[in-house]
Amino acid sequence: MTRKLHRGAFRAALAYVLFVMGGTALLITLRIALGGNWYFEQRGYIHPGFRAAILSGAYIFLSKLVTPAVLIWLFVGALLYIGALILTGLIKNNIVPGLLLGVISMIVSGWSMIRVPPAVWPSLPALYFMMFIAGLLGGAFGLFLSWRARSEAFQTSPLGWAHRIVGGIWVAALVSLYGYGAWVRVLGDPTLELNFFKWSPAEGEIREVPTGPYDPTFPQLRASEIEELRTAGLTGTLMFNGNNYSYGSESRVRVVIVMSRGLHDTVELQKPKNGDILYMQTEEGWKAFPLSTPTVSRTLRLTYTGPNVHQTYPSTNITADMGLGHPNAVYGIGAFSWKPGEFQAPLPSLAVRSPVSQ
């Protein structure tokens, strides 16, 4: 009986993850890749392109497989298998158990899209559509599971190489992910709160200006950061250009990066060990404020990305070395976008301080 439960439950759980969750992710990804508007509205939607949509969908689904979400999917698949055994034992009819299990699986699969979806839903219409797809696949899975659960081979036959390979790949991915997380904690590099600003020349002391008359994010700079720049004799204005995070250990530090001119060269800026830091692009090179902030040998890398099918203007992307080197620049965080004239824009000039990077 134990062998019947654990082998059949493993097969059912694995099939549920691959057929229902993987199938939902695949169909949603294909819809987006083939031109479907995943926001279900026309305002400002930019199609990412076939290849980008496929890669993004695959990455999101595979990343889910090494998170606690997959344990919930496996648990649901195993419960459905136990339900199939109970229903087929109580009801000898070949059709009724399948219909009942199909309805149960359809409801559970659709509801799970709210909590543990295999793809990202950016709007309520997208969520409802994903629930519909998952419900259909879940219903089909439950319908056929009751028939498969009757099979002695499904219940008791040894697990084949395909099951073992899939299970082994999942375990290896899980160990790698959490091993990397442990490595990051051992290094102790903090989570970086990245804030990006553009500098423009202007008369008077340095100051932050809003992006528009109704800017809800203004101000973003701290008084201590403004004071550091004023003490250095800097003039002009600073405008907020967005923010993001580079995740590390539980501790958190703030990194402010100020640019005014687009660069084709790659720039390396040392990551702070602890304490906040501001990096500024100047005529004399990159400057750090305050100089007393301790840093580590690992760096933040600013790289140039040219115009392509996904962006009209060139940009500066940022990646962080978390102890295993920098990821490919295509996985970097978008920090700045540049219009053609901004590659010759003026730079602020500061005396005395020496560059921290060239």
Lookup: tokens for 147: 């028939």
Which tens digit of pLDDT belongs to each residue from 113-155?
A: 988 898 888 788 888 999 999 999 999 999 888 777 766 555 5
Average pLDDT over residues 188-198: 89
Q: Are 163 and 11 spatial neighbours (Cβ–Cβ below 8 Å)? A: yes
Nearest to 101 by CA among 85, 117, 118: 85
Q: DSSP string of 107-136?
A: HHHHHHHHHS-SS---SHHHHHHHHHHHHH
Instruction: Output 267 or 218, whichever has higher pLDDT.
Output: 267
pTM of the model: 0.60
Q: What percent of the chain has pLDDT over 90?
A: 29
Four-residue CA torsion sign, 20, 26, 29, 30: negative
Q: Is the CB of residue 212 less than 8 Å from the CB of residue 291?
A: no
Query: What's the pLDDT band for 200 if we cut at 50, 70, 90?
Result: very high
Backbone angles phi and psi of 164, in degrees to 5: -65, -40
What local confidence, expressed as pLDDT, does residue 43 receive?
52
In this predicted structure, the answer to whether residue 307 has a pLDDT above a threshold of 60 is yes
- As given in the structure block, the two tokens for residue 269 are 């800026």
What is the C-alpha separation between 28 and 323, in angstroms, rounded? 35
The answer to whether 262 touches 228, Cβ cutoff 8 Å, is no
Give the pLDDT band of residue 354 (cuts 50, 70, 90). very low
Q: Check residue 353 and give its pLDDT.
A: 45
State the Cα–Cα distance between residues 100 and 155, nearest whole angstrom: 20
- What number is the average pLDDT over the span 104-117? 91
* Average pLDDT over all residues of the chain: 82
Token look-up 């219940």 returns: 155
* pLDDT above 70 for 310: no
pLDDT above 90: residue 7: no
Tokens found for residue 12? 């059912």
3-state secondary structure of 278: strand
The residue that leads in pLDDT, 35 or 158, is 35
Dist. CA 243–CA 256, nearest whole Å:
9
